[in-house]
Structures are given as structure tokens and as C-alpha cells.
Amino acid sequence: MRSIPLGTTVTVSVSPKASSSRSSPLSVSLKKQQQPLFLSSSSISRVSHDPPFSKSGVSRASQVVELFPTVSPEIVVREARIEDCWEVAETHCSSFFPEYSFPLDFVLRVDRLVAMLSGFSVPPGCKRTCLVAVIGNSVDDTFLIGGEDFKIGGFDGKFSLNRGYVAGILTVDTVADFLPRKGPLRQRRAGIAYISNVAVRERFRRKGIAKRLIAKAEAKARSWGCRAVALHCDLKNPGATKLYKGQGFKCIKVPEGANWPQPKTSPDIKFNFMMKLLSIPTTA
């Protein structure tokens, strides 16, 4: 059978004599439409009686889909604002404590929210910020309300009227709480940014969101004058380890007998300490 391209109207005319005779063929005429990209309801009903596959083996349904491809939502990575705080807490809890159910999960979210708003104080000279990957948010935040230097905890105090949906989070700082101290006085290390709380909502995983968050954290660390970034990765999470290694992080062996700090979690959780040197752009 000949395949009929999209945008062609099929007109079938049957004469009374032909209808009474089984051997008389139907006369078929083809007319080209002026607007081939728009299908009328009548033309769709006619095409639907044809076989589902053309002579070339391509599904006719797929031909229509190619005309109207699915539009992927835009992903923007930016600093978290006060309007994002509940979704940040929700993303954190659903990623790190997925086994919790109501009402415990709600209590945990409230606890995380209060901790983020009140516990993001940093020592003098240190930096800390929370980054979010937002779905369906415009890069150009035209409708912003609030001052440039207004901060609440670790969040930007500005509001936006065209906010999106938080799909992933990451915290980066120079506080160095979980970095090895230096010297007999155990002084904080400077020039190294620390990444923590990397989390992506389950239905948005494997879309490159974590990589974009890490890249944004590295750019933020460079702007702070850091020469390296570091993090801890759960030994029982090979997927995360593979992700960080793919981004250029190297596992650092802890010296024998050294008491290096690590995140305060369950005592049975073991971590890899990973670090990456940042390439500082040189000015000509």
C-alpha cells in the first residue's frame, strides 16, 4: 500500500454501481492542503483508518509527535531565597530520611526549617550559602522584592513572584567544621570550601541536576578565593562516589591514627573524604 504523507486530504468517492459490485475498485483522489502543519478533525479521522505503520515502517503516531515535541522544563541553579525554605527542608528530609512517615516526617521538616533559619550563623570572615536547582523558573528574575544584602539565616532575603519548584539542594561554606585542623592549636583551614547536603528529589534524579549544583558550588568557591573544594561521601553510596569522581574529586586517605572530623550522623556510617583542586582563571 502507498503511504500518504501528513497534510494530504484523502477524498473517497463511491459510485452507486461500484458499491453493488465487489470487484469494482474505489476511486481515490489526493489533494494537497494549503496549511500542511495543521490537521483538521475530519482529516485525522480519515488518516486513522489507515494501517498504523507506513511503508517505511515508521509509526504514523510518531510522525505527529515529532511535530509537537515535549518541552522540557527549564532548570535554573541559584542561591536559595527565603521563599524556598520550606521546599529546601522538604527536599532534604525526603532524600536523607525517606523512611519517615506522617506525623514524624512533618515534625522533622519543621525541625530542619527552624535549624536552617536560625542555625546558619557563621564565624567572622567565613561564608555559607544554600544553592537550589529550580524547575520552571526564569533565569531573568524580573520580579524581585527585597534588598541585595538582606539575609535570613543562609537564605537570600529577596522574594520572587515567578518562583519555580525546588528539585535539588546543596550547601557550600568556608566554615571548615569538617576539614582537618592545622597546627597544634587546631586552627581552621582557610581557602577550602566544603560541600554538604547534596540532595535531589527522587523523580528529578539522573537529569544532571547534581552536576549543575556542584558546578555552581565550585564557581561560588572561586568567587570566595578558595583554591579547593572538599566533601564527605557515604561509603555505602557508590552512585554518589561515582558522581563526584566524574566531577574531578579524588579520595583522600586519612592518615593512620588521625582524628579527622566528619559529619555528625549515625556511628555506623563511614565516609570517604574527597577533595578537588580548583583551576583559578589567570588574568592576562
As annotated, the active-site residues are 244
Residues 159 and 83 sit within 8 Å (Cβ to Cβ): yes
CA dist 81 and 182 (Å) reads: 34
b or e along 110-149 (b: 16 or more beta carbons within 10 Å of the residue's beta carbon)? Answer: eebbeebeeebeeeeeebbbbbbbbbebeeeeeeeebeee
Cell numbers 561560588 label which residue?
220
CA dist 200 and 150 (Å) reads: 27
How far is residue 8 CA from its own chain's centroid? Answer: 42
CA dist 176 and 194 (Å) reads: 7
Strands (E), 14-140: 27-32, 75-79, 128-135
CA atoms 89, 90, 92, 98: torsion sign? positive
Phi, psi of 263, rounded to the nearest 5 degrees: -55, 145
- Compute CA distances 28 → 23, 34, 225, whole Å: 15, 20, 75
Collect all residues with Cβ–Cβ distance below 8 Å to 20 and sequence separation of at least 6.
Answer: none
CA dist 191 and 187 (Å) reads: 13
